[in-house]
Amino acid sequence: MKHSHTTQSPKVNDIKYQETVDKIARQASEYHHEKIHIPRSLGTTQKRSIIHALTTLRNPHSSNYHKELRDGIDWLLQYELNIKGIVDSETIATVLELFHSHSPITSDVQHLFSNIKLWKGDITRLRVDAIVNAANSQMLGCFEPSHKCIDNVIHASAGPQLRDHCHQIMQTTNQTQGQPIITPAYNLPSKYIIHTVGPNLNQTHDGATKPTQEHINQLQSCYENCLKIASEHELTSIAFCCISTGLFGFPNDLASQIAVRTCKRYLEQTRYNTSIKHIIFNVFTDKDQTCYLNQLENISNQKIPKQVKMSHLMDSNVLTASEWIKQSHSILISAGAGLSASAGLDYNSTKLFKDLFPAMYKRGHRCMYEFIGYKNWRPTLQWGYFFSQVNLARFNWPRTRAYQDLKKIGESAQNGYFVYTSNADGMFEQNDFDKDLIYTIQGDYSRIQCLKPCSADSIWPIKPYIDAALPKVDPETNEITDLSLVPKCPKCGSDMMMNVRGGNWFLEDHFREKRRRYQEWVSNSIEEAEKNNKLFVIVEVGCGFNTPSVVRWPMEKLVSMHSNVRLIRINSDHPEFDRYSGENAVGISSDAKDVLSILASYV
């Protein structure tokens, strides 16, 4: 059984990455018709998000888009591609290999399955002759920065030159629905991008919610015409995304049926008269994966074993990570805000904020992250919000699969696990991790302290304050209606704050024993692992560049100091690493829930 092979830069430099992001951010006015100020105090992740937004909004052939800026963006995109890893389509197993050693299938199906591949992952990582983009009717890419559509993803990864090229074509041709255009792929590993416009069920004139025969014919035409233009350009491989599903509303199961049937018919009809040797169905969600596997199983009239499905679609970096975990003596779980986000507590999500705190949303606020260091508010509103947020996040957030899988991974090691996290939300404890094995370096929402502070022990449990105040929080305003319930230090009467690292007022004496225990565990575990010819494995989840010195860099330092330490960095945006040889680390740029689920299934 072959696995898709990921090629990765042997050593990357996240210092230069940060410098490049800063430089491009300083030139932000080059992207937009208005001067836009990006504060230098913002973290690299936030600046990168703003750069993405501005390039998404940029009109084609902007006169301000000069060579230096273009070269900087190209470097940034190539760097991010190397970090994500390029997947060579030649190393992806054919569907026929999924049935290897199982019951025989007919010669016609054998021919079909030897030409079809199925791969789950980011299509912008594929080294293939052409990838297919499900475009909108403008054929210029998506102009909505927040959209997760494939059109946005492809244009964002290829770079602004792609929009310019599409614009040039659209100025000289009259495209109709289903008729594709072909462009260079620019900063993508594929040679070309074939852009096609599928049926959009969300823009039907009659308000139809189910595909009509016309919609079905239109989608079929998309696949036929993409294959035709690929063959005309003598391409040997083409990767299809799931055209018209997602934001366009076409049912996934029917869309996969049309895709497989159309490609099957094309291969049968052009068996000796096409340059195309491999058709890759690229899926990104579990739902689409299941739909395509069902279609392939129906054609062959047999089932593909579950374990074969999983290993066939698995990223090679995940396979490496699973092998390291199997060889582990001890596992250090390190976590940042990205892990909480994978469990549903996303501090940057506007939708979540609106759902949880509608009164604050009506006031003009848009996400929980706004209130880190925020000072411009009345105490009654400040504590009405803080008590509501902490009560939900620290004491009443539901258990999640991501944390349970992570716990299973940690417990699989011979010497068990220890948790080192910048998160103060207490989710590890809420998910039944041993509280004696959790070091929350940035503090803990379960405590409240004197903001002065008046003494080293001016810290108290926050729950009694929350229980007293919440009944007096007006749901329409989010303010505490009883001023006496705004917390004041019982010792000196000063203002109070959650016991988190927000300034030199942070009281951390009670964390020092846990820090000593953590450091002792790490030192002893690395030594014992070496004696037993085992690995000390770090599973790092969701640690970006907002506070890299807290978790991200200390983990890299451990790897640089010890030959038997391995780092598994799970981060959809920033899986890159530095300061040590890349052979002792893997970066996985996929959703933490998916990765942890796979890793947990192998322990």
pLDDT tens digits for 371-403? 988 888 999 999 999 999 999 999 999 999 999
pLDDT of residue 396: 96
Helix axis angle, 213-232 to 252-269, nearest 10°: 40
Tell me which architecture the domain covering 86-313 has in CATH: 3-Layer(aba) Sandwich (3.40)
Calculate mean pLDDT across residues 288-313. Answer: 73
* Three-state SS at 374: coil
**Is pLDDT larger for residue 314 or for residue 580?**
314
pLDDT at 440: 97
The pLDDT of residue 287: 84
Query: What angle do the packed helices 286-300 and 107-115 form, to 10 degrees?
Result: 150
Q: Determine contact, residues 311/279, Cβ cutoff 8 Å.
A: no
Which range among 275-289, 378-392, 477-491 shows the weakest confidence by mean pLDDT? 275-289
The half-sphere exposure of 112 on its side-chain side, counting CA atoms within 13 A, is: 20
Whether 505 has a pLDDT exceeding 70, the answer reads: yes
CB 559 within 8 A of CB 580: yes
**236/230 Cα distance (integer angstroms):** 8
Return the minimum-mean-pLDDT range out of 97-106, 195-204, 369-378.
Answer: 97-106
Tens of pLDDT, residues 451-461: 999 999 999 99
Average pLDDT over residues 589-593: 82
- pTM beyond 0.75, yes or no: no
Tens digits of per-residue pLDDT, 521-544?
999 999 999 999 999 999 999 998
Evaluate if residue 8 carries a pLDDT over 60: no
Please report which confidence band the pLDDT of residue 339 belongs to, taking 50, 70 and 90 as the band edges: very high
517: amino acid identity, one letter: R
Q: For residue 494, what pLDDT band results from cuts at 50, 70 and 90?
A: very high
Contact 185, 131 (CB under 8 A): yes
How far is 597 from 310, CA to CA, in rounded Å?
11
Q: Give the per-residue pLDDT at 200.
A: 86
**What is the mean predicted confidence (pLDDT) over 16-36?**
70
Domain ranges of the chain: 7-85, 86-313, 319-597
pLDDT at 58 over 70: yes
pLDDT (mean) for 482-506: 96
pLDDT for 312 beyond 80: no
Q: What is the pLDDT of residue 12?
A: 47
Task: Supply the DSSP string of 205-253, one letter for each residue.
Answer: TT---S--HHHHHHHHHHHHHHHHHHHHTT-SEEEE--TT-GGG---HH
Question: What token pair was written down for 491?
Answer: 């010792």
Residue predicted with more confidence, 27 or 331: 331
pLDDT value, residue 101: 45
- The top-scoring range by mean pLDDT among 88-97, 240-249, 393-402, 537-546 is 393-402
pLDDT at position 348: 85
Q: Is the pLDDT of residue 183 over 80?
A: yes
Report the C-alpha gap between 251 and 219 in whole angstroms.
12
Higher per-residue confidence, 412 vs 35:
412
- Name the strand (E) or helix (H) holding 256: helix 252-269
CA distance 424 to 445: 6
Q: Token pair for residue 512?
A: 């020092």
Q: CA separation (Å) from 231 to 235, 266, 579?
A: 6, 11, 46
| pLDDT value at residue 579 | 47
Mean pLDDT of 457-480: 97
| pLDDT(9) > 50 | no
